[in-house]
Amino acid sequence: MSDRYDPDAFKARIDATLRDFVAQENDQLLMIDPQLRPVADQIVVATTQGKRLRAAFCYWGWRASGQPDSDALVRAAAAMELVHAAASVHDDIIDDSPLRHSLPTAHIALRTPLRGRPNAKKSARALAMLVGDLLMALAGELFIASGLPAAYLSRARPHWAALARELIAGECLEIIWTGAAPNTSESLKVIRYKTAKYTVEQPLLIGGALAGASVRLLKVFSAYGLPLGDAFQLRDDLLGLFGDPVRTGKASLDDLRTRRPTALLAETWRAADDGQRKQLRNLLDRPDLGLEDLHEMRDLMNHVGSPIRIEQIITARVEEATRALVGGDVPATATRALIELAHAASVRRH
């Protein structure tokens, strides 16, 4: 691989790594019993989509620390995508989301092979939960079996543990605060722990730790990764409500239907007057939200200016992230790649 970041070429490497690894693991699974085929199929579905940003951040954490291109590192970086796949399957169960990447989510798709069975819906959710658990276990297996020296892997172990701890903590906080009075500070904390850290910061830190990065450089990674991770999720929240479902591959009403504590909702509540807050409560309390409700919510949010406010926060976070690279002893090649990744993560339509 050249020193220039080529997202398509990098994605192809990660896709090939995951395809081969998942195929081997699914063969082992099906040797136990062929009736596990629906589970194996969902492992494939969960791992064949995505922009591979988390793997890219891990890779450039390695390269920014002075290490050359490495196939073993690419395998370790691909493990970040299995973590994301696991988190996505679990998140879809928690939110009862029907679609991801325009395909039925695991807990929906797994109803088909169980059709006609007692408690098929409940059993499908249970199977999907186990698919997510297996994906997380496979992430650890791919990381350990990447081919990197044991001493390198040992350096990254604390960051791997922190990634799992923080991801689960963020998901728990979102569940605890769902349905409560919207609060921007709480929403930003959920973003920070549920998404920002495992999407940008921890992959960078893991790549850097594998490479033997200095403490100073790891601090630069955090200073860049945390605000950029915030921007990534804030963009996701905007796209979730205002994006084109054909592009996002998700249902536009998911966040409203489940009353997820997004910063967009919290900023709308903060800026609304008493009458607008009553309108907002009435919308959120409706049992069967439809397209007209979505348009009403968009109009309300635009009227109070919350989407503009979120855009301002995104811009400020991205600027903070890119400033952290200046004077941070990050090689020019890696700096260019990380700036490109900052744009890819924060300026997107899906």
| 315 compared with 329, residue with greater pLDDT | 315
What integer is the mean pLDDT of 299-310? 97
**What's the pLDDT score for residue 61?**
98
- Residues 281-304 have pLDDT tens digits of 999 888 888 889 899 999 999 999
Termini Cα distance of the chain? 27
Q: Which residues contact 302 (CB under 8 A, 6 or more apart)?
A: none
**What's the pLDDT score for residue 350?**
66
* 236: amino acid identity, one letter: D
- Residues 106-161 have pLDDT tens digits of 999 999 999 999 999 999 999 999 999 999 999 999 999 999 999 999 999 999 99
Residue 1 pLDDT greater than 70, yes or no = no
Listed as own residue / partner, the contacts of 276-279 with beta carbons closer than 8 Å and 24 or more positions apart are 276/300, 276/303, 276/304
Average confidence score pLDDT of the chain = 94
Query: pLDDT-derived band of residue 2, with 50, 70 and 90 as boundaries?
Result: low
pTM of the model: 0.95
Q: Cα separation of 214 and 1, whole Å? A: 25
What integer is the mean pLDDT of 49-53? 92
**What's the pLDDT score for residue 24?**
98
Q: Map out the domains of the chain with their CATH numbers.
A: 7-346 (1.10.600.10)
